[in-house]
Amino acid sequence: MRPFRQPLVAATLALSLAACGPQESKETAAPAAVEDARTPAQIEAQRTPYELDAAFARAGQDFGVPADLLKAIAHAETRFEMIQGHEEFAGMPAASGLMALRGENLVEGARLAGVSVEAARTEPEANIRAAAALLGSWAQAEGIAREDVGAWAPVVVRLSGISNPEAQAQYVHRNVYGVMREGVVAQTPAGDVAVSLMPSQVQAKFASPSVHAMAAGPDYAASIWRASPNYNARPSGSGGGVQMVVIHTCEGTYSSCWSWLTNTASGVSAHYVVNESGSEISQLVRESSRGWHVGATYDPSLNGGAESGLKGTSVNNFSVGIEHGGSASQSSFPSGQIEASAKLTCDITKDNGVPIDSYHIVAHGKLQPASRTDPGANWPWSSYLSKVKGYCGGGTTPPPSSGGFIVDSNNSNNNTAQGYIEVSANWVSATSTPGYYGSGYFFANTAPVSDAATFYVYAASAGTKTIDAWWTAGTNRSAAAPFVFFNASGTKVGDFKVNQQANGGTWNTVGSFPVTAGWNKVQVSRWAADGYVVIADAIRVR
């Protein structure tokens, strides 16, 4: 098999604040290279209705705290959203505001800032000032040099409330100081800059995360095994097997979530936790064991009458719980997190024979409405279930018996013995236009050059294959994007043009072509009318 590689896609926020203008999907005839060349954290389209730069600056100046540090904490905790303070775990006070202030921190921060607790809980600037006042007082007590941003790491950890050393290091280095190194911009709904955090080379003066190899989860190889002591055996019989997947939000960050759920003192657990970007998943409890994630007995009337035989039994007896870094009150969920979660849920349903529908993949708040609301009104249920079905071979993918297979634009999603993709560095990885297959797509500007995105397709013997293609549609796409087929000998055996301005987010039949034994190729060519982009997302071979 030929080697394959991903393109080198790197961009920083220092390109300019102008890079945060209209997203690629809103452009009409101009290439989207600047917008889609941003890093995933930047391209997630941070949105906040508040113009916060000046508020962070004032709070930083008034209480002697680096304004960029305040911004980084707000991003790590809430992505600049004013969360409403829902409780997820008993013993863990609800977080409030941009800075996710909890319990005594909220009360003491408000006192030090000279604002009311209610204002600190509900008003953006008062919330920022309460956090800044608290951090400033701790820094003064510990003798921290105010201008040494890296030296603030211990008080950042104190504000987070995380006690597990590994989770503390992850939170500080990857989340708070990581976003300061990367930079981020948030926009108002009108497209104005609300928060700007320019990249810097700051390093936290704090113990680094462990570098030892982490064991994979026993049930999901793409997870990290962080065993929780908080579990027991499922009951025997029909009421004890895995029959549902329950979706939760942590009401906090990923690091604080898995840390708390692996703490004996918490008395709670979940089977899995998915981080905010989808780049990491922790497994805490084996699927065969009973996690402690829902504090209610099952009432089928809350769930469309489904599984009525389980009425009155603990939901924990027959469910797997997935926590997600974030809050039930947030306005949207990062696409990477949704994709990673959907893959995980697919794996759980396949292993346990759980139906993929809204009665068996359910919200925590649906089953425990008296005291929980997660994952909240903005969890994308329709697209989430569609993605789970897609990864499991239903709806958007052919069933295994059909002999078909998918070649995605992300090789980590591919069985590379069947197919893989190669692109040059001129092709940009993106997630900004919704409706993509898998975890993203590639795009490139049209130009009269031989620089195609190549999907390699292995055939054991000669025959005919039909190719379906998936793309994200938009008015800046080519209306005649070329798909060119080559057999394993390198002979061109087909040439088709498709309109990528329409029919996005679904499979479109491109054509059939004769394959020969070996590695055949389906290429998405850039050679089309100038001024547009072409999309290489996924192909289906059948």
Summarised one tens digit per residue, pLDDT across range 203-217 is 999 998 776 668 999
Contact 196, 147 (CB under 8 A): no
Choose the weakest-confidence range: 111-120, 152-161, 270-279, 403-412: 403-412
pLDDT band at 46 (very low <50, low <70, confident <90, very high): low
From 89-93, 240-244, 467-471, the region with the lowest mean pLDDT: 89-93
Check whether 485 has a pLDDT greater than 70. yes
Q: How confident is the model at residue 444 (pLDDT cuts 50, 70, 90)?
A: very high
- The answer to whether residue 7 scores a pLDDT higher than 80 is no
Q: Write out the E strands in 293-418.
A: 319-324, 361-363, 405-408
Tell me: pLDDT of 395 over 70: no
Instruction: Please tell me whether the overall predicted TM-score, pTM, comes out greater than 0.75 for this model.
Output: no
> Residue 472: its pLDDT value, please?
92
Residue 309 scores a pLDDT above 70: yes
Per-residue pLDDT, 86: 81
Mean pLDDT for all residues in the chain: 87
Chain CA centroid to CA 74, Å: 18
pLDDT at 394: 60
What confidence score (pLDDT) does residue 28 get? Answer: 31
Lowest model confidence (mean pLDDT) among 87-101, 138-152, 439-453: 87-101
Distance of CA 303 to the CA centre of its chain: 27
Structure tokens at 113: 């800032």
Concatenated DSSP letters of 8-62: -----GGG-GGGGSS-GGG-SSS--HHHHTS-HHHHT--B-SS--HHHHHHHHHH
Tell me the pLDDT band of 506, cut-offs 50, 70 and 90: confident
- Top pLDDT among 506 and 372 is at 372
- In this prediction, residue 15 has a pLDDT band, given cuts at 50, 70 and 90, of very low
153-160 vs 67-78: helix axis angle to the nearest 10?
30
Average pLDDT over residues 385-395: 82
- Residue 57 has a CB neighbour count (10 Å cut-off) of 14
Give the residue, 189 or 25, on which the prediction is more confident. 189
Q: Is the pLDDT confidence value at 14 over 70? A: no
What average pLDDT score do residues 80-100 get?
88
> Average of pLDDT values for 192-205?
92
| pLDDT beyond 50 at 329 | yes
Which residues does residue 289 pair with via DSSP β-bridges, in sequence order? 233
Choose from 69-78, 347-356, 427-436 the range with maximum mean pLDDT. 69-78
Residue 148 has pLDDT above 90, yes or no: yes
pLDDT at 12: 33
Token pair belonging to 510: 């491109």
Q: Residue 26 above 90 pLDDT?
A: no
Question: How high is the pLDDT of residue 3?
Answer: 34
Q: How far apart are CA 15 and CA 539, in angstroms?
A: 33
The answer on pLDDT for 188 being more than 90 is: no
Q: Which residue from 419, 437, 530, 403 is spatially nearest to 478, judged by alpha carbons?
A: 530
For residue 1, the model assigns a pLDDT of: 35
pLDDT value of position 195: 92
The more confident residue out of 252 and 393 is 252
Separation between Cα atoms, residue 250 and residue 241, nearest integer Å:
25
| Whether pLDDT at 402 is above 60 | no
Element (H or E) spanning 106, and its range? helix 103-113
- For 389, residues 6+ apart whose C-beta sits below 8 A from its C-beta are 356, 395, 396
Measured CA to CA, the distance from residue 532 to residue 498 in angstroms comes to 14
Give the distance from CA 392 to its chain's centroid. 19
